[in-house]
Structure 1
């Protein structure tokens, strides 16, 4: 599994629409066989800053599988207005240093 992090800088006035559009884009992630989970977090200290965290089965699953799919076209259509507001987009490998809250 790998994790993709995307940092956005969104004008606060656009935040409600941004979150609505990402909720729509989430349906495409839900439909992807390669997506293992995702979350969108808004910075409390700087409300225009967001981080999207997406868990993928692999880099190949994301870059070839998802990006070559019908789901990606719908995902990109939903988030296209915000592409120019991306500050950083990177893939990370998960290390053994972690804790997940028990259900």
Structure 2
């Protein structure tokens, strides 16, 4: 499993639009076999900052499976208006933690 973190800066006047875009895109993530879980979080101290945290079965599952799937276009269309606000988009290996 790998975690993809996407950090965004979203102007306050577009916050509702951003959240709705990810709610729309979430139906694609829910149906993808490579996506294990996801969450969208908004900054408390800096509410213009959002983080999308997506658990994938593997980097290959994300990049070769999900991104090449026919439904990826639906996901991309929903979130594309916010791509200019991406500050980081990277995969991370989990080393330890708790649940």
Q: State the TM-score, normalizing by the size of structure 1.
A: 0.94
Aligned to 1:25: 25
Q: Hey, what's the Cα distance between the residues in 2 that align with 1:47 and 1:61? A: 31
CA RMSD, aligned part only? 0.5
Structure 1 gaps, min length 5: none
Aligned to 1:86: 86
Q: Hey, what's the Cα distance between the residues in 2 that align with 1:93 and 1:71? A: 26
Moved over 3 A (4+): none
Aligned length: 99
Deviations 1:26-47 (A, max 9, x none): 0010111100000000000001
Deviations 1:41-94 (A, max 9, x none): 000000100000000000000000000011211100000100111000010001
Q: State the TM-score, normalizing by the size of structure 2.
A: 0.98
